[in-house]
Amino acid sequence: MSGTYLGMPAFPAAARAAVRNPTLRGNLRHATHTIRAKRARAVAEVEDWAELREAGKRIKDHTLRHLDTYLERLEESVTAAGGVVHWAADAEEANRIVTSLVRATGETEVVKVKSMATQEIGLNEALEAAGVRAYETDLAELIVQLGDDRPSHILVPAIHRNRGEIRDLFRAEMAAWGRPAPEDLTDGPAELAEAARLHLREKFLRAKVGISGANFMVAETGTLVVVESEGNGRMCLTLPETLISVVGIEKVVPAWRDLEVFLQTLPRSSTAERMNPYTSMWTGTTDGDGPSTFHLVLLDNGRTDTLADEVGRQALRCIRCSACLNVCPVYERAGGHAYGSVYPGPIGAILSPQLRGTGSEIDASLPYASSLCGACYEVCPVAIDIPEVLVHLRERVVQGGPVTRAGNKVVLRPAKGHAAERAAMRAARWAFGRPGALRTGQRLASRTRRFHPRTLPGPGRAWSETRELPPVPPEPFRDWWQRTHGGEAGGK
């Protein structure tokens, strides 16, 4: 997989190509509008949705506030159930741990359940470098892998592909990865699914090592939970001899009872289903049933740094439902790749610049990849105020300030490239602090209105390329007011 996001251009440049691709826009529009409407219906069925949303938010906030306690409890429970817990501070450490665990089994192939955490750390590439081939078994991840592509959606990683493209990929690439696709494969959904099923079945039956993520980890019992729709997850979680789960530390919940909330809100928010088709839960190991060896790799990779930020930490409540992507008008036009991360859309715009820092061009541009319309906040099942965090991160980009990186407090300098904007904001603030100066400016604009250009230079050019500018009126309101109401109390 060519899954590197390094050197990504800033969001506006990356989005431009997507906006100008009518097929991609059509695919995205159709897919997001369909799921959006279904989600709204599924949510409307639940009478106590507002309470469930509040409960989910509270459980997550409580857990995050006492994260150290619950992670230690989780480690004890997992160990007591026969599992082995590893702690990984960053992507490199996590990859090193998993690679050495796989090597220790002597195997050169692993099967994978779709996992955001392993995508985030680039595990497949690390395994490949160590001579281990990782097979993605989620249908959409398989499509992405065969296409040497990157995921563009949290839940539907191949949302940017249509059926014709998928058939061509299967025909051209499947043979190199195992069982080839049938010669006469059409783009019918049932035929495509059957080709994938036969291809994957061979992997499930042969694999001795499975790699997963988890949607939730229960501290109380040491239980891990994966929810999915295809059954591939259940195969990967039960058939291999060794199971390695790589999970972000924020996925822990205190008690079994807490699942009651999330197993209602997650499926309805993500796939608009009342209940997801497969919910797999496992607790350590059991003799004669399932994997005999279980490793849990707990991944930090910027999460405790994010936790240190009072406003930004709410991003860690995310349960990866992707409702915010499906409702976002910006995601719908720009597509997932423009966000330069395994986490696209509104949640990606606040998560990536926190996990990775705002040092790169793409990460510094992500907080601006939103019109702040608020639709993402409205649909979020754990009430993450995404617009609030976006504005907070914009402030970090333009003003700098204290942040935590790799556990250390550092003071960021303002990002480059905002000097003209900063000067304009200061000038505007100066004028707005002085009604007289504002009035002089307004009058000047009104008197010179016949000479105003139809197109603007500088940053305004982007506006006038696609939109007409409003004409400046002959008289600003305040002059009219003074002329007509000047003698009254307000005309001071």
Partner 1 sequence: MRVALFLTCVNDTLYPDTGRAVVKLLTRLGVEVDFPMAQTCCGQAHYNTGYRHEAEPLARHFAGVFGGYEAIVTPSGSCGAMVRELYPRMGERARAEGRGKSLAATLAPVVPKTYELTEFLVDVLGVTDVGAYYPHTVTYHPTCHGLRGLGLGDRPRRLLEAVRGLELVELPGAQECCGFGGTFALKNPDVSAAMGADKVRNAESTGAGVLCAADNSCLMHIGGTMARLRSGMRPVHIAEILASTEEEPLA
Contact with partner 1 (CB under 8 A) among 4, 455, 480, 483: 480
Please, which residues bridge with residue 223 across strands?
Answer: 218, 283
Contact with partner 1 (CB under 8 A) among 19, 46, 81, 84: 19
Contact with partner 1 (CB under 8 A) among 37, 445, 447, 452: 445
Q: What are phi and psi of 21, to 5 degrees?
A: -105, 100
Per-position DSSP letters for 296-346, written without gaps between them: EEEE-TTHHHHHT-TTGGGGGG-----HHHHH-HHHHHH-SGGG-SSS-HH
- Contact between 460 and partner 1 (CB under 8 A)? yes
DSSP, res 256: G
Rounded distance between C-alpha atoms, residue 268 and residue 287, angstroms: 35
Binding window for partner 1 (CB under 8 A); candidates: 192-200, 281-289, 301-309, 362-370: 362-370
Give 208 or 333: the residue with its C-beta nearer to partner 1.
Answer: 333
Contact with partner 1 (CB under 8 A) among 148, 193, 202, 463: 463
- Contact between 339 and partner 1 (CB under 8 A)? no
Provide the minimum distance between the beta carbon of 425 and partner 1 in the complex, in angstroms, as a whole number. 5
Which x/- pattern, by CB under 8 A, does the window 24-63 give for partner 1? -x--------------------------------------
- Contact between 403 and partner 1 (CB under 8 A)? no
Question: Among candidates 374, 365, 413, 371, which has minimal Cα distance to 393?
Answer: 365
Contact with partner 1 (CB under 8 A) among 1, 8, 11, 166: 11
Q: How far, CA to CA in Å, does 32 sit from each of 18, 29, 142, 212, 229?
A: 15, 5, 21, 27, 18
Considering only residues 417 through 436, tell me which ones interact with partner 1, judged by CB under 8 A: 421-422, 425-426, 428-429, 431-435
Provide the minimum distance between the beta carbon of 117 and partner 1 in the complex, in angstroms, as a whole number. 29
Q: What are phi and psi of 253, to 5 degrees?
A: -125, 150
Considering only residues 113 through 152, tell me which ones interact with partner 1, judged by CB under 8 A: none
Q: What is the number of other CB atoms lying within 10 angstroms of the CB of residue 348?
A: 25
Reading the block at residue 318, the tokens are 């995310």
Q: What are phi and psi of 464, to 5 degrees?
A: -75, -5
Binding window for partner 1 (CB under 8 A); candidates: 67-75, 191-199, 252-260, 386-394: 386-394
Provide the minimum distance between the beta carbon of 267 and partner 1 in the complex, in angstroms, as a whole number. 24
Rounded distance between C-alpha atoms, residue 221 and residue 383, angstroms: 27
Question: Among candidates 280, 244, 246, which has minimal Cα distance to 263?
Answer: 280
Which x/- pattern, by CB under 8 A, does the window 175-214 give for partner 1? ----------------------------------------
- Contact between 491 and partner 1 (CB under 8 A)? yes
Contact with partner 1 (CB under 8 A) among 359, 374, 407, 417: 374
Rounded distance between C-alpha atoms, residue 308 and residue 276, angstroms: 33
Residue type, 384: I
Binding window for partner 1 (CB under 8 A); candidates: 41-49, 92-100, 126-134, 438-446: 438-446
Give 410 or 469: the residue with its C-beta nearer to partner 1.
Answer: 469
CB within 8 A of 106, min separation 6: which ones?
A: none
Q: How far, CA to CA in Å, does 209 sit from each of 95, 286, 295, 309, 431?
A: 15, 16, 11, 38, 66
Rounded distance between C-alpha atoms, residue 31 and residue 40, angstroms: 14
Considering only residues 209 through 268, tell me which ones interact with partner 1, judged by CB under 8 A: none
Give 50 or 432: the residue with its C-beta nearer to partner 1.
Answer: 432
- Contact between 409 and partner 1 (CB under 8 A)? no
Considering only residues 265 through 294, tell me which ones interact with partner 1, judged by CB under 8 A: none
Considering only residues 296 through 325, tell me which ones interact with partner 1, judged by CB under 8 A: 310
